Amino acid sequence: MPKTSEDLCQLTINTIRTLAMDAVQAANSGHPGTPMALAPVAYKLWADFLRYDPQQPLWPNRDRYILACGHASMLLYSLIHLAGVRRLENNSQPIDEPAVSLDDIKQFRQWHSTTPGHPEYGFTAGVETTTGPLGQGCGNSVGFAIAGKWLAARYNKPGFELFNYNVYAQCSDGDLMEGVAQEAASLAGHLRLSNLCWIYDDNQITIEGETELAFSENVPSRFRALGWHVVEVDDANDLVALGQAYEAFLQHDDGPTMIVVRSIIGYGAPHKAHTAAAHGEPLGADEIKLAKAAYGWPEDQSFLVPREAQEHFAGAVGERGGAAREKWEQSFARYQKEHAGLAAEIEMMLRRELPPGWDAAVPEFPPDAKGMATRVSGGKAENALAARIPWLVGGSADLAPSTKTLIDKSTSFEADDYSGRNLHFGIREHGMAAAVNGMTLCGLRGFGATFFVFSDYLRPSMRLAALMSVPSIFVFTHDSIGVGEDGPTHQPVEHLAAVRAIPGLNVIRPGDANEAIYAWRIALRDHKHPTALVLTRQNMPTLDRTKYAPAKGVERGGYVLIDAVGGKPQVLLLATGSELSLACAAYEELAADGIAARVVSLPSFELFEAQDDNYRHAVLPPEVTARVAIEAGVRQGWDRYIGPGGGFVGMDGFGGSAPAPTVYEKFGVTAAAMVAEAKRQVGR
């Protein structure tokens, strides 16, 4: 029975440690060492500083705690359990059940448990973002902090400080070795995000051994050079020093803070167990007994949670967080009366709703043989939508003049003005995408833009957006060999197949200016999936919609653009993006030659696959097996629509440097090639 508050603190810390050991042992899988080492670090933060109400895990102004080193997930699950965080129904309303029960901890890493191997957003209340791939949580944290600063700049008014939350990211050596964390840290330092604190576990161990094998830099010096305030704590078990470090963060208002904490992985374990802990392995029953003995813990008890520890921790977190949340709600009730319009915005944003008439001002483009690039029409659509959706906020990786994503009549988001909606992410594609995910997790409609070929640089963050069902928007321009003179280094050919391979990501490659309008509408209307908009650099004809079907068909992913007379085609011509006009030209030539064709615009495989069989078969009749697809990319992925015997006009290698029309001609991505293949398909 604890006799002093110090004893009670230590009891709670050891509860966190032993839960981690026991859960990993029961699963025979996982990482016990980091939770054992960092238990005091996390305990001190949650018990004495974190403003978080376990009864209302989605309170908008809560502090965010992000476990970037997601392999240490049992640290977070133990904290959630001991704090008494409530479960969320449909990831929205709290119910009177624990988010992580003791039974859940006993089912660590098992099917359908709320304690998966790495923390997963939307699966477990208290988990703010999906982490595991190292560095991602660091990148997300910068987006959380950006969102906090923007929300404060827009919505805080005299007498109403609605948004002033802080963001804490627990990170490891591995996180800081990843490039995405460096990109994120550089951006955070430039923006002087004083609401951001990274807590770096300097334990000098990675899976292969001592960090000196591959990592010898001076991390504190690096971060000071990036504009961070650095505080060093020599011993992870020193609660007084930890408290002083957290206070130092709260007092520093001119940039982000890094707290460097030196810890011993698997703290308290005997040497053999320490080695296992360092390499992400269970300690073993005998070693666990020795470790528990070192903690003064009952050696033969597993999953022991002393009542005093849980009451102490839940009380400490809940009392402070609950009081802050209640005060906030009272303030917001007054705010609703004094600033009704802004309050309504906040509520819509948090519910993932859009304002009435949000797309009423979107332009419609008249037929034009010369037309425009879809990056241009997409930019016009984005601006029309941004005028009605104030929380549409984003930017590009130093490419706004090329991606056409600058929001007109808005300032830049910078350290001396956080109200701007135009973010300048710099040439940091991966950091940009990770930050956009963090912004979107806070309710903003975040977007990031770059050239399509650089989707390779941010793919891990795009994948995680899909995994989390977070509606981030990724705008990719310069989508094909149409880039022309820049040559094969900048001409994406395999990238469409690559992004289409990500489950849950809607990829839309519009075929003219009006399809691009609908692509933006779709992206903003969808609050459960991220969207990749794939847009052209070069002009393409704006189709005459009195001759061709309405562009609204984009909403179904694919539609009949123009049909054979009588609706009985001999051959189907499928196309996306800039190649759609080539399919239309092929249609005319085939008609002149007596061959009945149907042109199908297929800008989004994912949206098309979401339609029922009747619709898909109406667009692509199974009985019409003569099919040709044209796309300035590789064939991979197209066989589902054209079949193994279907024709494909596209790329089977990299591009070349020349004007775009020359490149298309030299690689045979032409209407003439499509006509020739269509004739072969119908035996002509």
Q: Return the CATH number at 523.
A: 3.40.50.970
Residue 348 lies in a domain: no
User: Is the pTM for the entire model greater than 0.95?
Assistant: yes
Together in a domain, 584 and 619: yes
What's the average model confidence in pLDDT over 553-575? Answer: 97
What distance in Å separates the CA atoms of residue 318 and residue 386, rounded to the nearest whole number? Answer: 38
Which residues, 6 or more positions from 266, have their beta carbon under 8 angstroms from its beta carbon? 32, 33, 36, 37, 273, 274, 276, 277, 278, 283, 291
Question: Does the pLDDT value for residue 265 go beyond 90?
Answer: no
How does residue 2 score in pLDDT terms, banded at 50, 70 and 90?
low
- 567 and 513 belong to one structural domain: no
Within 10 angstroms of residue 616's Cβ, the number of other Cβ atoms is 18
Write a three-state SS string for 348-387: HHHCCCCCCCCCCCCCCCCCEEEEECHHHHHHHHHHHHHC
CA distance 85 to 209: 36
Lowest mean pLDDT among 261-265, 366-370, 452-456: 261-265
Separation of alpha carbons 616 and 5, rounded Å: 67
Those residues with Cβ within 8 angstroms of residue 151's Cβ, 6 or more apart along the chain or in another chain: 162, 163, 442, 443, 444
**Partner residues linked to 151 by β-bridges:** none
Residues 505, 585: one domain?
no
* Percent above pLDDT 70 for the chain: 98
Same domain flag for 558 and 531: no
| pLDDT the model gives residue 235 | 96
How far, CA to CA in Å, does 24 sit from each of 29, 37, 277?
5, 15, 10
Q: Is residue 78 part of a domain?
A: yes
Residue 360 located in a structural domain: no
Q: Do 68 and 17 sit in the same domain of this protein?
A: yes
pLDDT at 581: 98
Please give the average per-residue pLDDT across 452-460, as a whole number: 98
Q: Which two tokens stand for residue 386?
A: 């941004």
DSSP secondary structure string for all residues of 54-93:
TT-TT-TT--EEEESSGGGHHHHHHHHHHHTPEEEETTTE
- The band of 45, judged by pLDDT with boundaries at 50, 70 and 90, is very high
Statement to judge: residues 493 and 598 lie in one domain: no
Q: How many domains does the chain have?
A: 3
- The radius of gyration of the chain from alpha carbons, rounded to an integer in Å, stands at 28
pLDDT at position 91 is: 82
Q: Model confidence over 75-129: pLDDT tens digits?
A: 999 999 999 999 999 888 999 999 999 999 999 999 999 999 999 999 999 999 9
Residue 221: which residues within 8 A CB-CB, separation 6 or more?
Answer: none
Tens of pLDDT, residue by residue over 199-210, are: 999 988 777 777
443 and 575 in a single domain? The answer is no
Q: Which domain holds residue 657?
A: 554-681
How confident is the model at residue 212, as a pLDDT?
Answer: 82
CA distance 196 to 193: 6
Do 515 and 401 belong together in one domain?
yes
> Of these residues, 120, 429, 631, 677, which one is catalytic?
429
CA distance 234 to 237: 9
The whole-number pLDDT of residue 279 equals 63
648 φ/ψ angles, rounded to the nearest 5 degrees: -135, 130
Decide which of 556 and 273 is more confident.
556
Per-residue model confidence (pLDDT) at position 207: 75
> Residue 662 pLDDT more than 70?
yes
Residues 312 and 224 in one domain: yes
In-domain check, residue 181: yes
The neighbouring-strand residues paired with 262 are: 202
Residues 592 and 527 in one domain: no
293-301: long-range pairs with CB below 8 Å, 24+: 294/268, 294/269, 294/270, 295/14, 295/17, 295/18, 295/268, 296/14, 297/14, 297/18
Same domain, 447 and 559: no
Ranges 239-243, 270-274, 422-426: which has the least confidence:
270-274
**Sheet with 422-424, side-by-side order of all strands:** 422-424, 392-396, 445-451, 473-477, 531-534, 506-508
Residue 292: per-residue pLDDT: 95
Given a cut of 80, whether residue 545 has pLDDT beyond it is: yes
Answer whether residue 154 shows pLDDT above 90.
yes
Q: 56: which 2 tokens?
A: 């209302």
Q: Give the pLDDT confidence of 365-417 residue by residue, as tens digits.
A: 999 999 999 999 999 999 999 999 999 999 999 999 999 999 999 999 999 99
**pLDDT tens per residue, range 500-521:** 999 999 999 999 999 999 999 9
| Residue 266, pLDDT score | 80
Residue 576 sits in a domain whose CATH number is 3.40.50.920
Mean pLDDT taken over the chain: 96
Active site residue 208: no
Q: What is the pLDDT of residues 221-259, one digit of tens each?
A: 999 999 999 999 999 999 999 999 999 999 999 999 999
Nearest to 131 by CA among 447, 428, 464: 464
Distance in angstroms (rounded) separating the CA atoms of residues 117 and 76: 11
